[in-house]
């Protein structure tokens, strides 16, 4: 490319970028109005009573994308519909933006300060303004930051800097049960150089973050049965095996004395974080004492050879999520129950196969099962961990764009939680991701009075405007991911 032409192109892009940012600033009221329209649709995916509302939310999104020039359609699945939209441009990289329009149930309703589907703007004593509604942060507000960024580019320049596709699902909050079949069907259509998503957090209120690793997840229910019915504890005490005690002993056997998971072979395939990733984590100067103190704790309970941050981001875990058996109502019912049940989850890291961990867990339990006991396992879900390459050219460009917007270096962080779509797209479609979110840790996701900061919504739109410009600087190449 001729040097003077390249310089003119960059200068022109810079001028356009300034105009697009100014347009977004001047039209925030319209962006906020559209967010409120979407928030008023009670698209609760886990409750069949709201199936029609999930359809309505999908249609609303598709219509908005069509209004800014996307070729958009609502695709029916065996569950809730998917919205797929495309805006193609010759040359440059092609990005796929993922989000979800479904939300969590609102219960307990009496803890909300207002109708959860009647969005409110609330000015705080700090001067911050909160957008309060179910889905404000997870994920409607986050999703619309990208849509509104595209709207601003289209309004000012008539186009987008790069090719953009959108993929919005309606089952993320209820297990994404239709997604495997849909992705098999739409594999070629959803092919892209990189997937962008906005379902993650800022590092703190003033520092943006790119999440470069997510733990995987294996969820299991285990049911222990001993006698063929509940027994009188006076008539059968000592003589009858108690499934609650058996289950308690099995649960106790899952962790070693230093907090490590004690299942044979559990750590065999764990990949240690790279030196580059460890260096990024060291830059965070994570305050373990404050992290634990905020939830009423004083010391970490995991493998003590690792820091608390490493325990929740880079090491696999085993946790007991629930346990039930016998009588636990008011008063006492003197029985030896027939059954006891526990729900157990394993957070997995890079290298671990959920099916292999499941097999090792089953072997561990069966080897310790005493006489007169049977066990039933029920798998409740599984997904692999995902790690985003730290040398990605798209990652470097996104970091530079975020630095320009926030006037500070963005940080690379991990997540102890799981966003299964990241691993699914990586393993099934060979698409790596850039998870860049603008939520705050106090946004009350899944809780009453969920909120999204107005500043997050505004800065999110501006950030995506800059990232789209940065990603257009040269052509994408998957070999560099």
Q: How many residues does the chain have?
A: 481
445 contact partners, CB below 8 Å, separation of at least 6:
104, 137, 138, 439
The CATH class for the domain spanning 3-214+386-480 reads: alpha beta
Select 216-270+316-383's CATH number: 3.30.70.340, 3.30.70.360, 3.50.50.60, 1.10.1040.10. 3.30.70.360
Tell me what pLDDT residue 10 has: 55
Tell me what pLDDT residue 423 has: 84
C-alpha 367/C-alpha 261 separation (Å) is 16
103 contact partners, CB below 8 Å, separation of at least 6:
42, 43, 44, 45, 134, 135, 138, 140, 173
If DSSP codes are grouped into helix, strand and coil, which group holds residue 231?
strand
Cα angle at 400 between 398 and 403, to 5 degrees? 110
CB of 261 closer than 8 Å to CB of 254: yes
Tell me what pLDDT residue 389 has: 80
Residue ranges of the chain with per-residue pLDDT less than 70? 1-13, 474-481
Tell me what pLDDT residue 2 has: 55
Question: Domain locations in the chain?
Answer: 3-214+386-480, 216-270+316-383
Helices (DSSP H) in 306-388: which residue ranges?
308-313, 354-367
């Amino acid at each position: 490319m001729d040097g003077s032409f390249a310089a003119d192109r960059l200068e022109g892009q810079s001028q356009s970028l300034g105009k697009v940012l100014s347009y977004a600033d001047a039209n925030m009221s319209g962006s906020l109005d559209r967010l409120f329209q979407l928030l008023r649709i009670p698209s609760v995916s886990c409750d069949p009573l709201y199936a029609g509302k999930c359809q309505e939310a999908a249609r609303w999104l598709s219509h908005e994308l069509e209004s800014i020039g996307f070729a958009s359609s609502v695709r029916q699945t065996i569950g809730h519909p998917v919205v797929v939209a495309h805006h193609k441009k010759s040359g440059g990289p092609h990005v796929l933006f993922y989000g979800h329009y479904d939300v969590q149930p609102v219960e307990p309703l009496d803890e909300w300060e207002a109708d959860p589907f009647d969005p409110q703007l609330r000015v705080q004593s700090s001067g911050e303004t909160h957008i309060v509604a179910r889905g404000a942060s997870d994920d409607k507000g986050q999703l619309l930051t990208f849509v509104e960024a595209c709207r601003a580019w289209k309004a000012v320049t008539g186009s987008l800097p790069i090719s953009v596709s959108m993929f919005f699902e309606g089952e993320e909050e209820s297990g994404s049960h239709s997604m495997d079949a849909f992705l098999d069907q739409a594999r070629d259509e959803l092919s892209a150089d990189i997937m962008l998503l906005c379902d993650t957090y800022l590092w703190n209120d003033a520092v943006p973050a790119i999440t470069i690793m997510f733990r995987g997840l294996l969820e299991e229910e285990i049911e222990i049965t001993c006698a063929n019915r509940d027994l009188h504890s006076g008539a059968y005490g000592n003589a009858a095996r108690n499934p609650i005690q058996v289950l308690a002993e099995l649960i106790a056997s899952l962790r070693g004395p230093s907090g490590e998971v004690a299942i044979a072979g559990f750590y065999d395939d764990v990949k240690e974080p790279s030196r580059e990733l460890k260096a990024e984590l060291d830059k965070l100067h994570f305050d373990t004492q404050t992290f634990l103190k905020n939830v009423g704790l004083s010391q970490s309970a995991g493998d003590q050879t690792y820091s608390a941050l490493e325990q929740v981001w880079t090491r696999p875990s085993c946790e007991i999520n629930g346990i039930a058996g016998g009588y636990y109502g008011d008063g006492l019912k003197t029985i030896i129950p027939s059954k006891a049940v526990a729900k157990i989850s394993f957070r997995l890291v890079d290298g671990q196969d959920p099916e292999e961990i499941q097999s090792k867990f089953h072997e561990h339990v069966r080897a310790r099962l005493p006489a007169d006991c049977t066990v039933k396992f029920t798998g409740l879900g599984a997904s692999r961990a995902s790690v985003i390459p730290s040398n990605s050219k798209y990652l470097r460009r996104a970091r530079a764009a975020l630095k320009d917007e926030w006037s500070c270096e963005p940080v690379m962080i991990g997540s102890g939680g799981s966003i299964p779509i990241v691993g699914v797209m990586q393993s099934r479609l060979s698409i790596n991701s850039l998870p860049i979110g603008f939520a705050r840790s106090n946004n009350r996701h899944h809780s009453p009075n969920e909120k999204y900061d107005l500043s997050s919504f505004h800065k999110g739109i501006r950030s995506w405007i800059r990232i789209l410009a940065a990603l257009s600087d040269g052509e994408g190449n998957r070999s560099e991911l």
